[in-house]
Structure 1
Amino acid sequence: MKFNTLGRTGISVSQICLGTMTWGTQNSEEEAHEQMNYAVEKGVNFFDTAELYPTTPLSAETYGHTEQFIGSWFEKTGKRKDVVLATKVAGHGRSYIRGGEGADAKNMTLAVEASLKRLKTDYIDLYQIHWPNRGHFHFRQNWHYDPFKQDRAKAAANILEILETAGTLVRDGKVRAIGLSNETTWGIQKYLTLSEQKGLPRVASVQNEYNLLYRHFDLDLAELSHHEDVGLLAYSPLAAGILSGKYQNGEKPSGSRASINGDLGGRLQPLQEAPTKAYLEIAAKHGLDPSAMALAFCLTRRFMASVIIGATTMDQLKIDIGATDVKLSHEVLDEIEKVHRQYPMPL
């Protein structure tokens, strides 16, 4: 297992991060513990969760259950110090989470205290803003994204309030570093600028979607990542399972995410079918597991701090973590680029 440093924090994280969003719905507490045991055994030291989880499906009744499962594992194993733990405060719009108010001083303070209690720990290594209050283009919202409706002063004031609150949480020892999620280039840079001007915690990472079917980060975000040392924590590296091939020809296996969440957040639609088939054919031609190939590709990206995997079965988890041992040839990478040129944004 290789390790990368989160931004300029000095915190070292494994290149594979164990994602947790199915724990509490698709996965039981016992299964979650089994996944954590195996991941740590294989060298993974990085877990990512959120107060919102589980998401398969989302519900007020299961809100917070994933963090509880992680907390019970820490309590049972005593391995809190072996793990770099990332969690998130929910953004604006979930009515059952503090009225849907989103991230601000009050809600971050309340959210951290609740997460610490569920996680059975007294500190969080990486505390992330799950999505910006002002709006964003992630989760297929790019088709309706309109930044011209944003109030610049209001957005900047909210970012400063978040950073000031983060500063208090860091000083109190409850948080070690701050990260973003579902953020834009302007948003990340605004955080960086204000933190430098005000002497507040610096953003260490951004958790955005990245996979063979959705490579938005390759452009201006990659430039920002390079110059400002803000690494990507890639979520949905298998496009919610599409790149495994299990949804080919309209299949929706029983118990799969698509059988629960319908169109996989807008991903499971006709435009993805041709490129997905092409990537599956590349994997077959070269004797590669398609999931392992897709993850190994993500690991080649120079802006990648860690790739967040999510599995509902141990077999899936073993394939995903095993992707660290897969080295893609120049021929495979060239073929992947040809498909990408033909289908640059199928999601």
Structure 2
Amino acid sequence: MAVPLFNLAQNLTVSRLCLGTMTFGEQNTMHQSFRLLDEAFHAGINFFDSAEMYPVPQRADSQGRSEEYLGLWIKERKVPRDRVVVATKVAGPSGQMTWIRDGPKCLDAKNITEAIDSSLCRMKLDYIDLYQIHWPDRYVPMFGETEYDSTRQFSSIRIEEQLDALGRAVAAGKIRYIGLSNETPYGVMKFLEVAKSNIPYPEIISVQNSYNLLCRSFDSGLAECCHHEGYAIHAKLSYN
């Protein structure tokens, strides 16, 4: 039975299942990755998600390989570009991945623009369908943390600057839509507030957060945001 489709946004129809590529280039070889992509595509999945930091565990010598495999599969299998929805993500501030723009130290316009261009280059694509902020440019409890710690603040880049950089990429045809990942209800609503009050900033159309039998935090906060504001939840089956 083919995987059913739904409209994530105007002119963006995706399968209800999305294949993540986090293991491509680490746990999965290129041959194995292509086989997984083949099986998913033939089953009706047209939605594929990656990130500039993938695969994980993250290492300098493998960074970006998941995107490379995805782009190479599209090229070698001669998949029509309008038959697949490609999603990827820009890495937020990190003190560990120094090989990605020195950290990256922040999500300013320069980092976002460089990340988009690098992802397009690795995948050898003209545009990205859904481009997401992998995690916020501010302290939030994530990756297994459950309680907010007000003492762990750090200076963040204004949401206006992030949306402006993403908006310019949309205007240039480099990306079609934007989304958030590992966000909180506060962050989702702030992005929505800023986007609505600063036309023509691009609209946020999706939130990719952890959701599984053991991680149900979405149900107690983000579910209400997504319901009332019309966001699609692009759920990850584990927090990675």
Decide: shared fold, TM above 0.5: yes
- Give the counterpart letter for 2:168 in structure 1: T
Structure 1 CA distance for aligned equivalents of residues 192 and 150 of structure 2: 20
Greater share of helix: 1
Q: Alignment identity in percent?
A: 44
Residue pair 2:139, 2:152 contacting (<8 A) in 1 also: no
Distance 1:20 1:11 in 2: 20
CA shift digits 1:9-57 (9 cap, x unpaired): 44111110001110101101111111111111000010000000001x2
- Tell me the TM-score normalised to structure 1 length: 0.64
How much does 1:102 deviate? 3.3
Whether the aligned pair in 2 keeps the contact of 1:9 and 1:177 (CA below 8 Å) is no
In 1, Cα distance between equivalents of 2:150 and 2:170 = 31
Alignment-derived partner of residue 66 in structure 2:
66
Question: What is the distance in 2 between the residues matched to 1:45 and 1:60?
Answer: 29
Residues 70-109 of structure 1: pairs in structure 2 closer than 5 A: 70-79=70-79, 80-93=81-94, 94-100=97-103, 101-109=105-113
**Structure 2: unaligned runs, 5 residues or longer:** none
Q: CA deviation at 1:148?
A: 5.7
Cα deviation digits, residues 139-178 of structure 1 (max 9, x gap):
01334x3246547xx64x5211110011100000000000
3-state SS of paired residue (2:102): helix
Quote the Cα distance in structure 2 between the aligned partners of 1:104 and 1:72. 29
Q: In the alignment, residue 228 of structure 1 is paired with which amino acid?
A: E
Q: Please say if residues 9 and 204 of structure 1, whose CA atoms lie closer than 8 Å, have aligned partners that are also in contact.
A: no
Distance 2:46 2:184 in 1: 27
**Which structure is larger by alpha-carbon Rg, 1 or 2?**
1
In structure 2, the partner of 1:178 is 178
Q: Which residue of 2, 5, 8 corresponds with 1:3?
A: 5
Aligned partner letter, 1:214 = C
Q: Which has the higher contact order (CA 8 A, sep 6+)?
A: 1
Which residue among 128, 131, 138 is the counterpart of 1:127? Answer: 131
What's the counterpart of residue 48 of structure 2?
Answer: 47
| TM-score, length-scaled by structure 2 | 0.92
C-alpha deviation, 1:137, in angstroms: 1.4
Tell me the CA shift for residue 120 of structure 1. Answer: 1.1
Superposed, 1:1-347 pairs within 5 Å as 1-6=3-8, 8-55=9-56, 57-79=57-79, 80-93=81-94, 94-100=97-103, 101-143=105-147, 145-147=148-150, 149-150=152-153, 155=156, 158-199=158-199, 200-235=201-236, 237=237, 239=238
- What is the CA-CA distance between 1:75 and the residue it aligns to? 1.4
Unaligned runs of 5+ in 1: 241-264, 266-347
Q: Which amino acid aligns with 1:193?
A: E
- Asked if 2 retains the 8 angstrom alpha-carbon contact of 1:90 and 1:102, the reply is no
1:315 alignment counterpart:
none
Mapped contact 1:129–1:179 kept (Cα < 8 A): yes
In structure 2, how many angstroms separate the alpha carbons of the residues matched to 1:188 and 1:150? 18
Alignment partners' CA distance in 2, 1:222 and 1:192: 15
Distance 2:150 2:177 in 1: 28
- Amino acid of the structure 2 residue aligned with 1:4: F
> For this pair of structures, how many residues does the alignment match?
233
Taking only aligned residues, the RMSD between alpha carbons, in angstroms, comes to: 1.6
Q: Give the Cα separation in 2 of the matches to 1:26 and 1:45.
A: 22
Instruction: Name the CA distance, whole Å, in 2 between partners of 1:76 and 1:102.
Output: 35
Deviation at 1:138, TM superposition (A): 1.4
Structure 1 runs (4+) deviating above 2 angstroms are: 147-151
Q: Which amino acid aligns with 1:137?
A: P
1:73 is paired with a residue of what secondary structure? helix
Give 1:78 shift. Answer: 2.1
Give the residue type in structure 1 aligned to 2:40.
Answer: A
Q: Which moved more, 1:226-235 or 1:166-175?
A: 226-235
